[in-house]
Structure 1
Amino acid sequence: MTSKKQVIAEVKGQLWLALPLTLVGVLQYILQSISIMFVGHLGTLPLSGASMTNSFASATGFTLLMGICSALETFCGQSNGAGKYHMLGIHVQRCMVVVSVVSVFIAIVWGNTESILVAMHQDKGIAKEAGLYAFYLIPSLFAYGLLQCIVKFLQTQSIVLPMVATSCIAALLHTILCWVLIFKVKFGSRGAALSTSICYWANVLLISLYVKFSSSCNQTWTGFSRTALCNIFDFLRLALPSTLMICLNTFGLAWMIPFGCSAAISIRVSNELGGGNPQGASLAVRMGLSTVLIEALLIVLGMVLARNGWGHLYSDDKHVIKYVSAMMPVLAVSSFLDAIQSALSGVLAGCGRQNIGAYVNLGSFYIVGVPCAVILAFLVHMDAMGLWLGIISAFVVQTLLYITFTVRSNWEELARNAQSRVELSTTTTTGAPTTTASD
């Protein structure tokens, strides 16, 4: 029987994690939003090119890297809960190797953005602008992958405030650099992309210095180790469904807010399961979902009540402002459902069941969402409204399936599986855990 003290302690613990992680997510996402806001005042063509590049970059790069790094929520979270602290450093190095290799291939794609967009019958002027923007955004790709590795490494240890500090510095630096490079140096939209790259790398440098010199990471980071090159394929078996699960989610500022709660739930669930405490994991899920529900309702209220003001942030065009205002209630419903499903996906990540999330997302979007969107947008002629209603239908199915899997979970069995995974990853890692190239 769960006591009142346990409930209060769990809620406090999750809020302590969720609020800073939400801020970190918003600050990291806002780098791209700040760029769009500055570029939007250069004219319609630069705004269209930068916006298209951001969508293209998210679809082909940033979401892939975030998905790969999400596997660390399981590996690092459960290892930390089981007291195998040295394995956190091994896991994060293994992830760094994977994201660095993947980033090389993504960079090749980004380098050909203009040709790809033209082949997709996009406007040649916009495609050229997008290609130029994407070229200067390539350095940010490598920084983003490393940054997400370190973020997952720290958040699974409940170390969150240093990430808030470095992300604040990066966001402030980006605002200043954007203004200087765009309006003073006259780099145009290229300045925004270049500033994004510089500030992502600045964040990586700052947070790496913390990991290197902070006593908080003494047990979990013992230096670079050759053992991180072992069991890459075991890591990929979890990273691939993690990537698929993340890539089929909607990204945006409204998504980043409940993402903090999702990460907190994942941390708490993985820690408790790794420590062999199924009751604690179950409590973490119940309290986490309650928190996300309240947070999602607040997001909806904010989006709807301020719907007439959001458009002014991105454009001075009256038609754009009016269109954003009309679409905001639909986006609010989408954000509410997305918040709930993102929290439930955090439960799956904490349990190491990303394969279920991948199947659910594939079915929800491609069997339900896409057909509904096509019918409503092109046959019923609801245009963009129809597309979003199609997405909402996918979220409804996705959320219902996630709830079903969560309710039917056998927490005792999941705890045994988590401990087996930790033991397997520890015993199959060849050499001493702390064999390092340098400290």
Structure 2
Amino acid sequence: MAAPMVAVTVSQYLLQVVSMMMVGHIGKLSFSAVAIATSFAEVTGFSVLLGMAGALETLCGQTYGAEEFRKLGNYTCCAIITLMLVCVPISMVWIFMDRILLLFGQDPQISDAARIYCIFLIPALFGYAVLQSLVRYLQTQSMMFPMVLSSIAVLCLHMPVCWILVFRLGLGHVGAALAIGISYWFNVIGLGLYVKYSSACEKTQIVFSTNALLSIKEFFQLAIPSGLMFCLNTTTLHYFIPYGIGAAASTRVSNELGAGNPKTARKAGSVAMVVGIAEAVVMNTALFFSGHVLGYAYSNEKEVVDYVAQMVPFLCLSVIADSLVGVLSGIARGGGFQQVGAYVNLGAYYLVGVPIALVLGFSVHLRAKGLWIGILTGSIVQAIVLAVVTAFTDWQKEATKARERVTKKSIKGCNGV
């Protein structure tokens, strides 16, 4: 399950990476603006939606394990509605992001170009909200093939579409943003058609109903801590590899807990950790030996290429931390203890990582290296604490809680009928 989930998550994120790579060959201003806008959009938008959608890994995963198939459609419909509403305030922040950047002393030209990029990225935000809901719906039922096929096909389509918009039509960084939106919505349409007409989804059809609206409160109770647990983890493309492994772990853990099999759930978590560590070793080796040419993917400027090479050792350390955090977070989502993960994330980054980053980056004048060391420290602290929490988890207790959650919801549903 991990391999196809890695293909799905990486393919979806590569849409933004490909767009940034193409913009990087236009000029320094556009590249700087898109780099800042992408980071801003990730932290304030895409990672928020991705994190909140993780609530479905608990709700849909455990109900599927308990064979309460009807609820999967209700929860997914609830998630689509909720995440689309969340996109509205995020869009407003993006529209005025230049003022936020100027407040922190950013260059006016870069700030304005970044704002324009984010404005044309708003359609992609709404498409991403629907897409992540559909992905979790299929993921928790172990329907991997349609997601892999759709994601890879859209990525292959995105490259020529982005090239045409950026270079052929001369839209520059605006064309890159539009290409991302087009690609996300193509992915939504592809998965939507599969869910609508596939016989495999008959028992769990997504239908708008009052039950879906009544589930919003329950969804938010898990979505908010799930979102907090994920924010600021997405620092590199690599993170989506262990995130895919974690997503597979989440599905197996949630399914087994819903079915009342705590020992199998614990074993699934252990296997995921082994796979995550092995992935970190392979990725670190590849990064270490390709550091001197990695920068050319984003820019032809020698200054950029050389600086990327200097940052590779820090990136290798981040790979280790990201691999552990990605897998452990997936286990937490599957077990339904997102609140613990949220507290760990907030403490690790805002009480440890960010202060260290500010001191090293600005007071000690290490600049980007100092900022990276601070965030890396937060990741390491988060990984250690999550590992301890997972090691001391009472899986029998979590299985009982999962069954109680599903049973309680079933009784309410019956009473409502």
Q: TM-score range by the shorter chain?
A: over 0.9
Alpha-carbon distance in structure 1 between the residues aligned to 2:270 and 2:396: 16
Is 1:160 the counterpart of 2:144? The answer is yes
Q: Which residue does the alignment assign to 1:204?
A: 188
Q: What is the alpha-carbon distance in structure 2 between the residues aligned to residue 22 and residue 192 of structure 1? A: 24
What is the alpha-carbon distance in structure 2 between the residues aligned to residue 382 and residue 430 of structure 1?
61
Distance of 2:248 and 2:143 partners within structure 1:
11
Match of 1:357 in 2: 341
Partner of 1:303: 287
Contact conserved, 1:70 with 1:152, CA < 8 A, in 2? yes
CA contact (8 A) 1:231 1:429 kept: no
* 2:47–2:234 CA contact under 8 A, matched in 1: no
Aligned-residue offset at 1:427: 2.6
Q: Are 2:174 and 1:186 aligned?
A: no
Residue 92 of structure 1 corresponds to which residue in structure 2?
76
In structure 1, list runs of 5 or more residues that go unmatched: 1-16, 434-439
Q: 1:78 aligns with which of 55, 62, 85?
A: 62
- Whether 1:173 aligns to 2:157 is yes
- Residues in 1 aligned to 2:299 and 2:204: alpha-carbon distance in whole angstroms: 46
Alignment partner of 1:394 is 2:378:
yes
Query: What is aligned with 1:58?
Result: 42
Letter matched to residue 157 of structure 2: L
Deviations 1:231-288 (A, max 9, x none): 3112111111001001131332110111111001111000000000011101111111
1:118 aligns with 2:102: yes
**1:371: how far off?**
2.3
SS at match of 1:309: helix
**Correspondent of 2:326 among 342, 358, 372:** 342
1:283-298 equivalent positions in 2, closer than 5 A: 283-298=267-282
Q: Alignment partner for residue 132 of structure 1, among 113, 116, 126? A: 116
Alpha-carbon contact 1:82-1:419 (below 8 Å) kept: yes
Q: SS of the counterpart of 1:428? A: helix
* Conservation of the 8 A alpha-carbon contact between 1:230 and 1:430: no
Superposition pairs of residues 41-52 of structure 1, within 5 angstroms:
41-52=25-36
The whole-number CA distance in structure 2 between the counterparts of 1:166 and 1:283 is 31
2:400 corresponds to 1:411: no
Mapped pair 1:224 → 2:208 = yes
CA contact (8 A) 1:227 1:430 kept: no
Does the CA contact (< 8 Å) of 1:293 and 1:340 recur in 2? Answer: yes
Deviations 1:153-201 (A, max 9, x none): 0000111111111111211121111111121111121111111111111
Structure 1 counterpart SS, 2:234: coil
CA distance, structure 1, for counterparts of residue 278 and residue 391 of structure 2: 20
Provide the TM-score with structure 1 as the length reference.
0.92
Read off the aligned partner of 2:110 and give its amino acid letter: I
Give the match for residue 437 of structure 1: none
User: Which residue does the alignment assign to 1:105?
Assistant: 89
Q: Is the 8 A contact 1:94 1:232 kept in 2?
A: yes
Retained in 2: the 8 A contact 1:289–1:343? yes
The aligned amino acid for 1:176 is: P
Q: Note the residue ranges of structure 2 that are not aligned, 5 or more in a row.
A: none
Please give the alpha-carbon distance, in whole angstroms, between the structure 2 residues aligned to 1:323 and 1:150: 39
Is contact 1:89–1:221 with CA below 8 Å preserved after alignment? yes
Q: Distance in 2 between matches of 1:386 and 1:177?
A: 37
Q: After TM superposition, give the deviation of residue 115 of structure 1 in Å.
A: 2.9
Note the aligned Cα RMSD (angstroms).
1.4
Corresponding residue pairs, total: 417
Deviating more after overlay: 108-117 vs 254-263: 108-117
Q: Is the 8 A contact 2:249 2:269 kept in 1?
A: yes
- Cα drift, residue 381 of structure 1: 3.0
State which drifts further: 248-257 or 80-89: 248-257
CA contact (8 A) 1:299 1:336 kept: no
Paired residue for 2:53?
69
Retained in 2: the 8 A contact 1:19–1:261? yes
Query: 1:251 and 1:430, CA in 2 relative to 1: closer, same or farther beyond 3 A?
Result: farther
Q: CA deviation at 1:432?
A: 7.5
Pairwise CA distance, 1:222: 5.3
1:328-352 CA distance string (max 9 Å, x none): 1111111111111111111111110
Cα contact 2:361–2:370 (8 A) shared by 1: yes
| Alignment partners' CA distance in 1, 2:404 and 2:55 | 16
Partners of 2:16 and 2:232 lie apart in 1 by 20
Cα distance in 1 between the residues matched to 2:236 and 2:416: 42
Q: 1:333 aligns with which of 313, 317, 323?
A: 317
SS for the counterpart of 1:83 is: coil
TM-aligned CA deviation for residue 100 of structure 1 = 0.8
Gap change, CA 1:383 and 1:424, over 3 Å in 2: same
Q: What is the alpha-carbon distance in structure 2 between the residues aligned to residue 317 and residue 431 of structure 1?
A: 66
* Counterpart Cα distance in 1 of 2:12 and 2:77: 22
CA deviation digits over 1:194-234, x for unaligned, max 9?
Answer: 11111111110011000011111111115332310103112
Q: Distance in 2 between matches of 1:429 and 1:281?
A: 27
Normalization by structure 2: what TM-score?
0.97
CA contact (8 A) 1:266 1:347 kept: yes
Separation in 2 of the partners of 1:197 and 1:298? 32
Contact 2:76/2:206 (<8 A) preserved: no
C-alpha distance in 2, partners of 1:224/1:43?
A: 47
